[in-house]
Structure 1
């Protein structure tokens, strides 16, 4: 192959990758605070656990400025639909213990995730990063926990999500030492 033909092929490959990147849009790396209105207090300021009943809007006010944008958000995966270690759908929550060991966070702090491929998960509350189009809208999921079934309302969904394990969640909430649930705090490496 001549040098000119190689250069033309390389240029074409670069242009195709640039076009593909701009067509798919950029991924916004967001944090849990981005899913709630700025006027809603953070969990630390209302006392843990932050539960919907303590909020005037019951945590149902969603952030519509992220609608249909490709986002990346890290949190803890709580399986909803699984077969063995393959998870077909899970709730992404901001701290360990949410929904099963302690009261449920408000809906605007829960994301229902359907991975593009089943995700292999060894334990509940595994830290993961989710990338995909964020869709605001209330969804109810039935979660089976040790003491029975519970219906959990999430404020967002991400379908066909890319999921990958992470070592830590950047904006995780650490439960106070005097909390009866402090054993759920993940060890920091």
Structure 2
């Protein structure tokens, strides 16, 4: 009888645990691109392509993978960063606002370097904001369309679990061959 009760308790806890996990929606970078006919990021204003945000994701718990570009850091501890779809984004080619997520980790993240592949989990907030950061060529102002606060961060290996390539040119390719 005790074994049966224990088995039922384990089954219930697994069901509750998997129900909580099902609430997080895995998304990709194309999911953040809103159809041009959708709502503009700023109500009442005509938005240009790249500034239309995916309104259906507002407030949703999501998980998205990309590359970390630190904004606020001290040594190897990162307190906030931009999540971008490709290595080299923002250094030579600033992505559209709907392809940048401003991330505030729940705890400072110990980064191994810039453009580290990571997975971010948290509630997605919509709204255009501009952030100044230092990149290879100097200071850049990057506009983001999304924000995740209190984010959980997971390190991804370069390989099959790393974010998919976006087909753009990689400015770091020449340095990686040496």
Shorter-normalised TM-score: what interval? Answer: 0.7 to 0.9
Unaligned runs of 5+ residues in structure 2 are 38-46
Alignment of 1:18-33 (within 5 A): 18-23=15-20, 25-33=22-30
How many Å apart are 1:141 and its aligned residue? 1.7
Tell me the equivalent position of 2:77.
86
Distance 1:37 1:184 in 2: 34
Tell me the equivalent position of 1:71.
62
Unaligned runs of 5+ residues in structure 1 are 41-55
Aligned-partner SS, 2:113: coil
Aligned-partner SS, 1:22: helix
Tell me the equivalent position of 2:4.
7
Q: For each residue in 1:95-119, what CA deviation from the matched residue of structure 2 results, as whole angstroms up to 9, or x when unmatched?
A: 111112x121010000011112211
CA RMSD of aligned residues (A): 2.7
Distance 2:143 2:168 in 1: 22
Aligned-partner SS, 1:117: coil
Tell me the equivalent position of 2:112.
122
How many Å apart are 1:145 and its aligned residue? 2.5
Tell me the equivalent position of 2:164.
171
Tell me the equivalent position of 2:89.
98
Distance 2:101 2:66 in 1: 9
Tell me the equivalent position of 1:51.
none
The alignment's TM-score, normalised by the length of structure 2, stands at 0.79
Distance 1:61 1:68 in 2: 16
How many Å apart are 1:58 and its aligned residue? 4.3
Distance of aligned partners of 1:79 and 1:14 in 2 relative to their CA distance in 1, 3 Å threshold:
same
Distance 1:123 1:96 in 2: 12
How many Å apart are 1:13 and its aligned residue? 4.3
Aligned-partner SS, 1:33: helix
Count of residue pairs brought into register by the alignment: 165
Which stretches of structure 1, 4 residues or longer, exceed 6 Å deviation after superposition? 184-187
The alignment's TM-score, normalised by the length of structure 1, stands at 0.75
